[in-house]
Amino acid sequence: MTEETYMGVPRNKIPWCPVVNYAKCNFCEGDPQCLKFCPHGVFGIDEKEKKLIVANPDNCVVFCRSCRKVCAPEALGFPSKPEVLNIIKKTRENSEEWKTIRS
Ligand code: SF4
Ligand code: SF4
């Protein structure tokens, strides 16, 4: 995993990663550019189905969207940043509340 936590929140509680729109993804005709581009091993290949998969979503750098620029068919989507920021904020608040209750 690239980061264990982000802003003090465990990375696996943060829903940020690319989402493949299979209606648009053409697998770059067998040479997936997004997979080659991302240095964090987020993407993988389903060898049986011969298609791109998001193999390690938690390796994606929170709020990075860089791989979008190498995807000509615009097949990569991302969650809403304000919504994810809200989730991070709420998770932090809940954990602060929990600490207060316990102390
Ligand atoms: S770069 Fe775009 S079209 Fe190519 S494999 Fe990745 S998502 Fe699919
Ligand atoms: S958004 Fe950044 S870290 Fe995430 S998969 Fe794309 S290039 Fe990799």
- Confirm whether 87 is domain-assigned: yes
The CB density around residue 44, as the number of other CB atoms within 10 Å, is: 13
**How many separate domains does the chain show?**
1
What local confidence, expressed as pLDDT, does residue 11 receive?
A: 96
Q: What is the pLDDT of residue 101?
A: 73
C-alpha 35 to ligand 2 mean position (Å): 9
Contact 91, 12 (CB under 8 A): no
Where helices occur in 1-103 by DSSP H, the ranges are 33-37, 81-102
pLDDT at 1 over 60: no
pLDDT of residue 32 exceeding 80, the answer is yes
Residue whose CA is at the smallest distance from ligand 2 atom 3: 60
Residue having the nearest C-alpha atom to atom 8 of ligand 1: 25
Å from CA of 66 to ligand 2 middle? 6
Q: What is the mean pLDDT of residues 48-59?
A: 97
| pTM, full prediction | 0.91
Torsion of CA 63, 77, 42, 67, to 10 degrees: -80
Q: Report the CATH number that the domain containing residue 77 is assigned in CATH.
A: 3.30.70.20
Can you give the residue range of the structural domain that contains 88?
A: 10-102
| Mean predicted confidence (pLDDT) in 69-77 | 98
